[in-house]
Structure 1
Amino acid sequence: MMVLRRSAARRRFTAALAIMLPATGAALADVRHTEVPIAAQGVFIPAPESCPGHADMTITVMARGVVWRGRSCTLDWVEERAGTPGPIYSLHLRCPAPASGDPAAAGTAGSPAAAATIFNVVVWPKSTNTAAIGPDFTQLADYRRCR
């Protein structure tokens, strides 16, 4: 009788553990940061260019923001996701409204969209000096770190 109770207790314990483990693994899959990790920071230029690179093509990734395409954006948060050969960082940024002559302007003057634009940048470090960077995974381009 004692063997039967232990067996039932083991089954309940195993079932409870099996239910908890997938949830724990999923919770650890993505990590949210308030600053850009050092591995993703730097001044990047398109891979075939040479440093220091043309100012219009330079992407500067700092701990609390990004300067890209002439716009200085502040960081809301960074999501870190596991990838190969290393983590993939998704930067969620808040950028000031583009200049009124900019065809990429998101809204008209006075509208909430004109006040600030939400912008995402994916930074996927491939090595110490290279990274794939773009607004989403379909538009990633190879960049080289200058500093």
Structure 2
Amino acid sequence: MNHAPASVWKNPVHFLAFGLGSGAVPKAPGTFGTLAAIPFFLLMQPLAWHWYALILVLSFVVGIYLCGKTSEDMGVHDHGGIVWDEFVGYWITMFFAPAGWLWICIGFVLFRFFDIIKPWPIGWVDKQVHGGLGIMLDDVLAGFMALACLQLLAYFF
């Protein structure tokens, strides 16, 4: 079971790492974290591609710190409630996605699939790369795999 520490509500770094508190839910925090990323995607979607890409890069870099620091403070590598990585992974999935709720839902399912199943190289990175970079990188890779699938689906349908 996922137990969120009280610091999630007191420490701004932990609050952000826990996806504005969305990762504090007791069951399926990664799923809830991904859901919480959707409203931010809706704000980002109309941006020009280069601004969207800049947000992705900055969110990744900031996420390395947020996730690493929170993990270190909690003494647990990649606590289930740390979901900033899900935010960034979902936003990567949705880069250049077609507009509409159908595509938002397809992107959600694809990202969660790759994040949960962790096919190679995601699973390898998850086990071999530690700290904030490791926490972020497996979800970034899941986001890129989901992005590729989403773009293929959009191309053929």
The two structures have a TM-score, normalised by structure 1, of 0.26
Larger helix fraction of residues = 2
Q: Larger % of strand: which?
A: 1
| TM-score scaled by length of structure 2 | 0.25
Greater Rg by CA: 1
